[in-house]
Amino acid sequence: MALEDAKTQVDEAFTRKDLKGPSFENTFGGATSFLRRKYTKDLTGVDIAVTGVPFDQAATNRPGTRLGPRALREASALQSPDAPYGWPYDALSEMAIIDYGDLAFDYANVPAFPETLTDHVRGILDAGVASVALGGDHYISFPILKAYAEKFGPMSLLQFDAHTDTWPDDNMDRVDHGTMFYKAVKSGIVDPARSVQVGIRTTNEDTLGVNIIDAREVYESGPAAVAQKIKRIVGTSPVYLSFDIDGLDPAFAPGTGTPVWGGLSSIQTAIILRDIAGIDIKGGDVVEVSPPYDTSGATAIAGAHIATEIICLLGWAKRK
């Protein structure tokens, strides 16, 4: 069946009719939408919209994450024919998933960027659709969280990262990928008591009350136990999952702007993401994939898998 389909399927990003189901298009050819989903701005009947945010003007070290959405789409092509492994259902066949394309913004007008992004995600949520954003640097989570908090109230932030990104910054207009969660907590859009930061391995004395599961605890406790701890902390709160690819060790994700040794492995991450199924997740993002430093493509591959796991978590929450 797959072989016969591969003979006829091409540019499924534009030609596919159904928003559900696998794609058997040759992985090495065709237009690279995320998971070969249809490119469309029509949110009618859609469950999940994947959208790119090619922004990296907030980076403090190596830039290049503006190229992340394109790389993540290309890497995802290998996953498009098969049901995501390890799940008791096939999210690609049960959920109506689209590629909503990239955010349009004026790259030279950085002060206008945050509200442009908030409004973009607000439009998705107003249609009753969940978003999965492909970054871009990590600052993008702050404008996105604003849209989610408008709809669902204060969010539980589930953040995978080497850094807490809660360094003090009381200037809400500054665009910085290391301070946006400080602003999110201080502005009340994130509930710190119900939030968790996983994989942390850099020093920041003031956690603002956010629960920390550092990389050593993941290693010593094991990923299954960590997943259960996450579920206890977030409880029944609405969750936004933000995955900075530098949460992974540089051995698994070298293509990022601020790599830190001693991070999570791919299998630890996979187990945690699958075992937290059942949380009330509303949306998520994968950020900080920087293709110029990703010579093998391994970082984009990891990021594409993580984005797919977020889709599976959203689908699991929706079908329940």
Whether residue 181 contacts residue 164, with contact meaning beta carbons closer than 8 Å, is answered with: yes
Count Cβ neighbours within 10 Å for each residue of 255-278 and write b for 16 or more, e otherwise. Answer: bbbbbbeebbbbebbbbbbbbbbe
Listed in sequence order, the residues at least 6 apart from 88 whose beta carbon sits closer than 8 Å to its beta carbon are: none
- Sheet bearing 38-39, strands edge to edge: 38-39, 97-102, 48-53, 130-135, 280-287, 238-244, 156-160, 196-200, 211-214
Amino acid code (one letter) for 54: P
Task: State which H helix or E strand residue 242 sits in.
Answer: strand 238-244
- Residue 244 marked in a binding site: yes
Pull the structure tokens for residue 231. Answer: 């579920």
Contact by Cβ (8 Å): 39, 13: yes
Do 55 and 180 contact (CB within 8 A), yes or no? Answer: no
Contact 101, 49 (CB under 8 A): no
Annotated ligand binding at 138? The verdict is: yes
Dihedral of the CA atoms 231, 34, 113, 173 (nearest 10)? 20
Residue 137 and residue 120: Cα distance in Å, rounded?
Answer: 17
Query: 86: which DSSP letter?
Result: T
* 161 annotated ligand-binding residue: yes
Residue type present at position 287: V
Q: Which amino acid is at 241?
A: L
165 is in an annotated binding site: yes
Q: What stretch of H or E contains 100?
A: strand 97-102
Annotated binding site: 138, 161, 163, 165, 244, 246
Show binding-site residues for Mn(2+).
138, 161, 163, 165, 244, 246
